[in-house]
Amino acid sequence: MINPFRLPEEQERIPDPAILVIFGVTGDLARRKLMPALYNLARENLLPARFAVVGFARSDWDDQKLRSEMRKAVEVFSRTPLIGPVWEDFAQHLYYFKSHYDDVEGFRRLATCLQELDAQYNIPGNRLHYVATPPVVFESIIRNLGIAGLNQPASPEGWVRIVIEKPFGTDLESAKRLNARVNEVFHEEQVFRIDHYLGKETVQNLLAFRFANSIYEPLWNQKYIDHVQITVAESVGVEARAGFYDQTGALRDMVQNHMMQLLSLMAMEPPVALEADAVRDEKVKVLRAIKRLTPPDVPKVVVRGQYGPGAINGQPVPGYRQEPGVAPNSTTETYVAMKLEIDNWRWAGVPFYLRTGKRLPKKISEIAVYFRSPPQLLFEGQLEHGFTTNVLAIQIQPNEGISLTFNAKIPGSEMRIRPVVMDFRYGSSFGMSTPEAYERLLLDAWQGDATLFIRADEVEESWRLLTPVLETWAQMPPPDFPNYPAGTWGPSEADVLLALDGRRWRRL
């Protein structure tokens, strides 16, 4: 569990004894991500000896039901096999609490329950609340935590923190309103807005790659970089999320959080220290420097799409409007491509092209940095496939690593040039599997390290950029959806977006 932002002597620091309360413990996120992450932390001896996990939900469960269901979840979703004795020891720390999220008395009973667990485990009143519910109940949970006094430490030496899942708002005004509600109950330093992309090994390595190597940082500017492409592609459809996704769409679900975070880490200036606020200060500066999009700009630089019937890996799949739970005339976008420009000294004139979509040919997340081409006259007629630009590709998933494409001479008596690739992969280089993002982020929140979490002003700046896109779309006639078949790389308009600048999307 290595966090590059911590000093070496802090790397294996075990967090304080505490109680973790998971609101929405019966939901998909807890089953697929949170409980497997906690099990793996326990398996690696990274949890304190004195802790408890309280699952809060409305279902008619009890402690044994919770432990049984979570064992099944860990068996299916854990990155490591379940070891019986490790699970049995961990499971003894799991407790279930039944209540509705809008029931104030339920939260007061929760406070009593937590005090009893404090006494049982000798925990000094430390609390980590994790809001893993649909956004519609965020405000109820936060308000009732305050009414029940669960926003304050239960002892003078204790602490309280809250982790809030995405999406954090649906536009600028709703994000501001939610931030205001949160800050009525919690201080900003207590709040950990989570984006699991920031816990991925390669995303964390962006700063180490940029600022710990003297080779690339001098080239990381408009003098040497032609453009940047950021791709987050999914081969799956909406799966069981149709009810949520049809009200959300790709811009809110992926661009506003994951992709804006990747862009800001790629483009930020060196922070004054590897500390939470120093890193986040620089990310906010990037977001503020992105040129604002006006209504006339939106049709020119933003493309939206929706998949129709097609095939993935040779298997037929339905179109978005045929998915269970999706309206037959839905105009929700499942694909977004856009061109953004950062108006500062480092990046002036360098376009950042973003694309994300569902039912694309493969699942892959990548940042590709295209460097400017050198003069080509010297090797005219000696390039086998035409001149290839140097490309630095940072792959975030599924195979975490970094590759560099450059031109080299083909062995032989003639001067012939061909592009080649230098490839680095985490798995082969370090001989170990990387922890899941939620393992790292849960441990960081437990330890109070907010570096990989999103601050209030970050959320608002991201929404300030993208809300005009949503508002413009609402005023425009809906596109002729569907406009790309499942299993393809999106609508043709996305190719035109780059072709107008004399560029094309990277083949993945």
Per-residue pLDDT tens digits for 319-340: 999 999 999 999 999 999 999 9
Share of the chain above pLDDT 70, in %: 94
Residues 217-239 have pLDDT tens digits of 889 999 999 999 999 999 999 88
Q: Which residues pair with 246 in a beta bridge?
A: none
414 vs 84, higher pLDDT:
84
Short-list 237, 164, 162, CA closest to 195: 164
User: What's the chain's average pLDDT?
Assistant: 91
- Comparing CA positions, the residue from 54, 57, 68 lying closest to residue 26 is 57
468-494, pLDDT tens digit by residue?
999 999 998 888 999 999 999 999 999
Give me the pLDDT at residue 272, please: 92
Q: Is the pLDDT of residue 259 over 70?
A: yes
**pLDDT score, position 235:** 95
List the Cα angle 462/468/473 in 5-degree steps: 125
Mean pLDDT of 303-309: 97
Phi, psi at 266, each rounded to 5°: -65, -40
- The answer on pLDDT for 386 being more than 80 is no
pLDDT band per the 50, 70, 90 thresholds, residue 155: confident
417, pLDDT greater than 80: no
Residue listed under structure tokens 């973003």: 354
- Spatial separation of the C-alpha atoms in residues 392 and 370, rounded to whole Å: 7
Place 6 in a pLDDT band, splitting at 50, 70 and 90. Answer: very low
- List the domains of the chain with CATH numbers: 8-193 (3.40.50.720), 198-499 (3.30.360.10)
Q: At 35, is the pLDDT very low, low, confident or very high (cuts 50, 70, 90)?
A: very high
- Whether residue 11 has pLDDT greater than 50: no
pLDDT tens string 106-138: 999 999 999 999 999 999 999 999 999 989 999
Pairing of strands 335-341, 302-305: antiparallel
Residues 6+ apart with CB under 8 A from 344: 285, 286, 289
Q: How confident is the model at residue 9 (pLDDT cuts 50, 70, 90)?
A: very low
Are the C-beta atoms of residues 304 and 336 closer than 8 Å to each other? yes
Average pLDDT for 267-292: 94
* 377 has a pLDDT exceeding 70: no
pLDDT at position 229, please? Answer: 98
**3-state SS track over 402-462:** EEEEEEEECCCCCCCEEEEEEEEEHHHHHCCCCCCHHHHHHHHHHHCCCCCCECHHHHHHH
pLDDT at residue 7 in the model: 42
Q: Which residues are catalytic?
A: 258
For residues 74 and 30, give the distance between their C-alpha atoms in angstroms, rounded to a whole number: 10
213-216 LR contacts (CB < 8 Å, sep 24+): 216/392
Nearest CA among 116, 144, 149 for reference residue 131: 144
For the residues 452-478, what does the mean pLDDT come to? Answer: 94
Q: Rounded to an integer, what is the distance from CA 152 to the centroid of its chain?
A: 29
Whole-number pLDDT of residue 5? 42
Least confident of 74-78, 97-101, 132-136, 410-414: 410-414
Q: Give the DSSP H/E element, type plus range, for residue 23.
A: strand 18-23
Q: Is the pLDDT of residue 10 over 90?
A: no
Q: What is the pLDDT of residue 421?
A: 85
pLDDT value at residue 84: 94
Band of pLDDT at residue 59, cut at 50, 70 and 90: very high
Reported as a pLDDT band with limits 50, 70 and 90, residue 8 is very low
Look at residue 385 in the predicted model and tell me its pLDDT.
59
Q: Which two tokens stand for residue 36?
A: 């497997």
Q: Which residue has the higher pLDDT, 75 or 207?
A: 75
What whole-number percentage of the chain has pLDDT above 90? 75
Q: Which residues in 279-428 belong to E strands, given as ranges?
A: 302-305, 307-308, 310-312, 315-317, 335-341, 351-357, 364-371, 391-397, 401-409, 417-425
Greater model confidence, 163 or 10: 163
Q: What is the mean pLDDT of residues 202-227?
A: 89
Q: For residue 3, is pLDDT > 50?
A: no
338 beta partners: 302, 354
